Amino acid sequence: MGCTNLKSVTIPDGVTRVSLEAFQDCTSLKELDLPASVTDIPGSSFKGCKFTNLIIRGNLGQHPIGRIFDGMDTSTTVYTLASQVNRLKTIYKGVVLPLEDYTSGIWLTTSSSDISSPVYDLQGCRLSKEPAHGVYIQNGRKRIK
């Protein structure tokens, strides 16, 4: 609570509950990924937070969730199980999406069959031919096949 320099937190799997006001006013924390084991989140746990993403992997089941997002900035995108998206939308004014929509890493992939330019592996070694599958570099860009 109140950690203005806290940038990231790793919550180990097995933790089942976020404490009351645990992340309140942690203004530098931009993403919080709660493991599936977390199924209990009391009200005001994220008050004063402006995450980019809040990922709730656990099933909140019948837990009373009415005040979870009290005081949290509504520019945060919340990702959760598809089965609880509609439930969370009833109490949160921001965007709530299913976990399947969460991406972190590769945003766009392209494919190329331009055989005329050299092909390199990820270590920069030139290949004699374009690989049948995998990741490689061609024309200065990563390609996935």
Q: Please indicate, yes or no, whether the overall pTM of this predicted structure exceeds 0.75.
A: no
Using CA atoms, how far apart are residues 125 and 95, in angstroms rounded to an integer?
Answer: 44
Smallest Cα–Cα separation from 96: which of 83, 111, 114? 83
pLDDT band per the 50, 70, 90 thresholds, residue 93: very high
Q: What confidence tens digit (pLDDT) does each residue in 31-49 have? A: 999 999 999 998 889 999 9
- Token output for 57: 């992997």
DSSP label at 94?
Answer: S
Beta strand 77-80 with 53-56 is parallel
Smallest Cα–Cα separation from 24: which of 1, 54, 5? 1
pLDDT of residue 7: 85
For the chain, what are the domain ranges? 1-104, 106-145
Choice among 38-47, 57-66, 68-77 with the minimum mean pLDDT: 57-66
Cβ atoms 40, 15 nearer than 8 A: no
